[in-house]
A and B are shown apart, each in its own frame.
Chain A
Amino acid sequence: MRTRTSGRTGAVLGAVAITTAFALSGCAAGGDTAKSDGTKGNVTMSFLTFETPNLTAKYWDDAIARASAKVPGVTIKKLVAPSADRVAYAKQLAASGQLPDIMIAVSPNGFAQAGQLAPWTDAELTEFIAPHSNPIGGKVYQLPYNTQPTPLVYYNKSDFAAAGITAPPKTYAELLDAGAKLKAKGINPFVVGGGGKDTWADMFPLIGAVATDTYKQTPDWLSQKAAGKTKFTDPAFTKAAAKVADLAKSGYIDTAGLSRAYTDVEQAFRDNKGAMYPMGSWFAASADAQKPGFDVGVFPWPSDDGSLVVPAYTGGGMSVSAKAPKVDLAKKWALAFMLDKTSLDNSVKTDGSIIALKNYTPPPGMGPVYTATAELYRQAVEQNAIVDAFSIETGDGSMPAGLPDKAAAGVADLITGRKNADQFASFLDQEWAKANR
């Protein structure tokens, strides 16, 4: 008996010891792998990316390899957001204490205010054309490397010709006229997305209308809203919302788009399911790389008086976590990634980027849609016709976290007729108040 009991106790103690050893060794291993890859002096840092039809896994892997070659001592662990909505994914990671050390094209709004990001210094921003874009509390948290006119209206030249439209519309009245002519020919005027996880893809007509009807007159309108000086229910905004509602009511926006995710909506335009495709300038690269079965043209969202207005966003670059293992090294790597000529050229070729860096020239031989897009942007800069892109702003005075998603949901209501412009505006005011509570 004594022997059996002693043996059993010994086994139990052994099991406890083994369990404890496993638990402790597990902790130790986790701690090591989090920050080092085992090579002496090397630091492993996580880098959050996202993949789209334009920005493939290979694009990211090649760019990471080039940047890492320039900054020794850094091993990059690539994280890929499960959808194009990398901001929501970054927030989920941040909530569990796993904010990536380096992130690209993640709005710093919310992260910066919480002290989770390291600000960029003026010395680090010397290469950038607009170094102080989208400041938060006076500091820049995201490298402003790229400008994206959002949206421009890409159109099917064959459809326009078939409907007897001889030139792209310059005024809003001409746009309505074009819509009527296309519809009369049995051609759906606008392809707009917003299905699946990509509800944001329905926003582009509203961003265009807000640019021409609200921001053109009052460029800092959203900052004024943040300061409590304006409301969405003001006529300056409801006029823009009413235009979207009217386009849908007239049958110019196909509600089928509300079941199309981003890649599906691009495919729908390629498949000739509509003549006009309001989209960000990144579509230009896609249209050149894989030409649809028709020629693609581009024009800016028309204003009432025909004057040029182009909404655009400059930013989209790297942010670095304030808790990165070595913030300076992370910044050095991020800058190496952003300033790498090959990466920039690839970004232009694959994502239609308009690079906002001094002394940068795009690669030769760019396609006709990108060239037309870049020319439109150049004209807008020349005419001082650039305004912010509604809901895409990220700096002080931009929409509170979560509100762009609510706005996209509200736009779907405008398109389906569940809300009119006033109800939509009132909804946005309520959601803004909720978001700031």
Chain B
Amino acid sequence: MSATLARPAGAGPSKAGPGPSKTGRGTRPPRGGRRVTKALHFLTFGAPGMIVYLLLVLVPIAMTVRAGFTNRNPANPPTHWVGLRNYRDLLHDPAFTGALRNTLIVTVIVTVAANVLGLFIAQLLDRSGWLYNALRSVFFTPVVLSSVVVSVMWQAILSDDGLLASALRGLGVEDPPGWLSDPDLALYSVAFIITWQVLGFCVVVYLAGLAAVSTELLEAAEMDGAGRLSRFRHVTWPMLAPAVTINTVMLLITGFKTYDQIQVITNGGPGSGTTSTIAFEVVQTTFTGNHIGYGSAMATLMLMIIAAISVVALRFLQRREVTQ
């Protein structure tokens, strides 16, 4: 699409500058024709995407928000409009508040641990050579695996009859920890598994960030007598700000959406809600409990929380990028 065609009517000269157009005739298509062409361009290239986004994202969100104001339960008709009652009930529902607490714990652990370990490993792998290339692939492999596959694998490792417990028993530990059967440990085990899976993503993003760090700046700092730690703190770290932003926001969203691992590994237990997350609770409430209205309110609240935290984190981290 040429600049001439894309420019709105009466918006002044094109970016190509005043004077004759590239056709050399100094004329433009008639106004009506441009509008029609523009509309057709939109219909061809924009509309399919917009329609898909509208039908598969916006409409379901709108339907969920609407259902959240009702008592919809297919096993207990009729459906009534209940206003904010579902939201008021949620605030006093231990299942929801417990799930929110668990979600926050998982999110914080995953965000902090994956960022710290990812940066550390990226520093170690920021070298050339076949070994480092191979190691990068190794670290990235869990990212491309299905969460269900990862969950099944770690379940086989961490269950009380699993590889880790067997190894510990082999080493003389009589009563190894119940990584998945102990209600006080299970949530942290799940957070560890998620961290393990997303670590490769962080490593790759930090490696890309490290590649963009100016070697001139590092050499200048070294010539000024800056030590290794000082060079990292005053040169590398500030220049990694965009990578920190990407990783942090992605990890926050990943943490808040935690569902697959819970469903496969713990089913929210052991016990009542010890590892239940908001996403898990939404599915349980909506599909197992038939409380579509209440579950929709939960999902809406989850959407609002994720959106709010993501926006705040993004603003904060992007401001840091600018000031750095």
Looking at the complex, which one of A8, A87, A416, A435 makes contact with B37 (CB distance below 8 Å)? A8
Chain A CB within 8 A of B83 CB:
no
The reply to whether A259 and B287 form a contact with Cβ atoms under 8 Å apart is no
Q: A12-B44, A113-B76, A197-B264 are in contact. Are A259 and B183 (CB under 8 A)?
A: no
Within 8 A of B (CB), among A135-152: none
Within 8 A of B (CB), among A1-15: 1, 5, 8-9, 12-13, 15
Within 8 A of B (CB), among A91-146: 91-92, 94-95, 109-111, 113-114, 116
Looking at the complex, which one of A1, A196, A256 makes contact with B265 (CB distance below 8 Å)? A196
The listed residue with most A CB atoms (<10 A of its CB), out of B77, B263, B288, B291, is B288
The range of chain B's interface size is 35 or more
B182: A residues at CB distance < 8 A:
255, 416
Majority secondary structure of chain A interface residues (helix, strand, loop or mixed): helix
Q: A8-B37, A199-B267, A413-B272 are in contact. Are A259 and B29 (CB under 8 A)?
A: no
Complex CA gap A199/B284 in Å reads 13
The reply to whether A196 and B264 form a contact with Cβ atoms under 8 Å apart is yes
Chain B CB within 8 A of A302 CB:
no
The reply to whether A114 and B270 form a contact with Cβ atoms under 8 Å apart is no
Within 8 A of A (CB), among B1-46: 23, 25, 27, 29, 33, 36-37, 40-41, 43-44
Residue of B nearest to A110 (CB): B75
The listed residue with most A CB atoms (<10 A of its CB), out of B44, B158, B269, B294, is B269
Q: A91-B287, A110-B75, A260-B160 are in contact. Are A199 and B269 (CB under 8 A)?
A: yes
Complex CA gap A111/B41 in Å reads 47
The reply to whether A5 and B160 form a contact with Cβ atoms under 8 Å apart is no
Against B, the Cβ 8 Å flags (1 = close, 0 = not) of A323-366 are: 00000000000000000000000000000000000000000000
Residue of B nearest to A94 (CB): B74
Looking at the complex, which one of A113, A195, A427 makes contact with B270 (CB distance below 8 Å)? A195
Residue of B nearest to A112 (CB): B75
A410: B residues at CB distance < 8 A:
271-272
Sample (5) of A-B pairs whose CB atoms are under 8 Å apart: A9-B40, A12-B37, A258-B178, A259-B159, A413-B183
Q: Could you list which residues of chain B lie within 8 angstroms of chain A, going by C-beta atoms? A: 23, 25, 27, 29, 33, 36-37, 40-41, 43-44, 48, 71, 74-77, 89, 93, 155, 158-162, 178-183, 263-273, 284-292, 294
Which 4 A-B residue pairings sit nearest by Cβ, starting from the closest?
Answer: A402-B289, A256-B160, A259-B181, A258-B181
